Chains A and B, each alone.
Chain A
């Protein structure tokens, strides 16, 4: 499949909204059911210099996956960012997430110069965890009752990947 990676624009609100309407995406994220397009438009036009949101599209231009890096605004944590990645249910398991993840990591490493990338995954999201491990994320610990999901407080697996000057000097 020929994929195009590009930055998300305000006009992509409906496409990103469609991904976040997928039950498994809601389940494995911190988003709520019944998201609105307007809310996504607002997020996309927020002009937050620390937010970097990329999309993976097919040859017809359809948005298949979204992912982003949020750089920490605290001056003592500007070397760190959090990463998220979501793939539309209809397009999971075809390497789309991997391609977008590779682009996000290159962006974080080579253009933002981030030393630490972190994320939290639900421990039962095995496919995501093994994808993250395959690109160098390591398990740092389990956060108990980290988030509400479908009526239950679930744990979160904290993962991080270290790169950059600190790593090579060590």
Chain B
């Protein structure tokens, strides 16, 4: 699992992130659009920092970025114990432990450094690999949201899953 180096995303990673997210499974499995621009990712990377937005990258041994994971602490004062997050792995690196390496880093960050007690996410109900990964990290199904997002021409359902820190 530690085949991957986890590090913060840097402004110089915009092109790599745009390329990673321009693969059909990566954008289908998230809320991103096809054909992402480098400028879009440059703008997103410029908004990271100490306002509760974190974006991590997983690098293969040769230094190639193969996955990313973002964590957003809820800005509402009564929900500061909560963060939402999302993970995406490059299509040709799926099923090789990238998501697991990113999850380990994110959960540690949330539990032991940010002091968050509720982590939440949405996942498409047919994304079995992701659901199994989240379950392994203690996430439980809380709700099924109907017609949550448009994906390839259809409104599809998501599960809301959350992990409560004991």
**Interface set of A (CB-CB < 8 Å, partner B):** 30-32, 74-77, 79-80, 115-116, 118, 140-149, 153, 158, 160, 162, 166
Contacts and interface: CB of A to CB of B under 8 A. Distances in A.
Contact of A77 (B78, B81, B117, B150): B150
Nearest to A120: B143
Contact of A75 (B33, B141, B147): B33
Contact of B162 (A143, A148, A149): A143
Contacts of B149: 74, 76-77, 80
B126 interface: no
Q: Is the interface of B mostly helix, strand, loop or mixed?
A: strand
A157 to B, nearest CB: 9
B31 A77 contact: yes
A119 to B, nearest CB: 12
A80 B148 contact: yes
A166 B81 CA distance: 35
A32 to B, nearest CB: 6
B143 A158 contact: yes
B147 A147 contact: no
B147 A79 contact: yes
A80 B118 CA distance: 24
Contact of B79 (A140, A148, A160): A148
Given A30-B79, A166-B155, A116 B147 contact: yes
Contacts of A80: 147-149
Contact of A142 (B82, B143, B148, B164): B143
B111 interface: no
29 contacts: A30-B78, A31-B78, A32-B78, A74-B31, A76-B33, A76-B149, A76-B150, A76-B151, A77-B148, A77-B150, A80-B149, A115-B147, A116-B155, A140-B143, A140-B144, A141-B143, A141-B160, A142-B143, A143-B120, A145-B81, A145-B117, A145-B118, A146-B118, A147-B82, A149-B78, A158-B160, A160-B145, A162-B147, A166-B155
